[in-house]
């Protein structure tokens, strides 16, 4: 029997959890609660590193926090993902 995360239910559940972290990250980012926003988005990023939207939102959080080097790294990841998709 495959592990739970490899079953259709597990995949849907994992996506839903990741989407929840992204949504929370956006909400905290809008409320300027930047540390919590970054934490939520970092967690979502570890769940799916191939999601360019998460990297972009994380770059926004880092930029607002004054972490310009980290923001640039995230934007570089986004740029690489977009160029690879073309």
**In this model, does residue 85 exceed pLDDT 60?**
yes
The residue range of the domain holding 74 is: 4-85
Nearest to 37 by CA among 13, 14, 16, 59: 59
Averaged pLDDT score across all residues of the chain: 86
| Beta carbons of 28 and 36 less than 8 angstroms apart | yes
Helix (H) or strand (E) holding 10: helix 8-30
Tabulate helix, strand, coil % of the chain (nearest 5): 85, 0, 15
Question: What CATH number should be reported for the domain holding residue 46?
Answer: 1.25.40.10
How many domains is the chain built from? 1
pLDDT at 4: 44
* Cα gap 54→8, rounded to integer Å: 23
């Amino acid at each position: 029997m495959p592990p739970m995360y490899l079953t259709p239910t597990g995949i849907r559940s994992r996506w839903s959890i990741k989407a929840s972290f992204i949504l929370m990250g956006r909400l905290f980012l809008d409320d300027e609660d930047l540390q919590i926003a970054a934490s939520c988005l970092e967690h979502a990023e570890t769940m799916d590193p191939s999601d360019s939207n998460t990297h972009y939102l994380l770059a926004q959080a880092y930029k607002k926090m004054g972490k310009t080097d980290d923001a640039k790294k995230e934007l570089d990841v986004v740029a690489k993902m977009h160029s690879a998709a073309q």
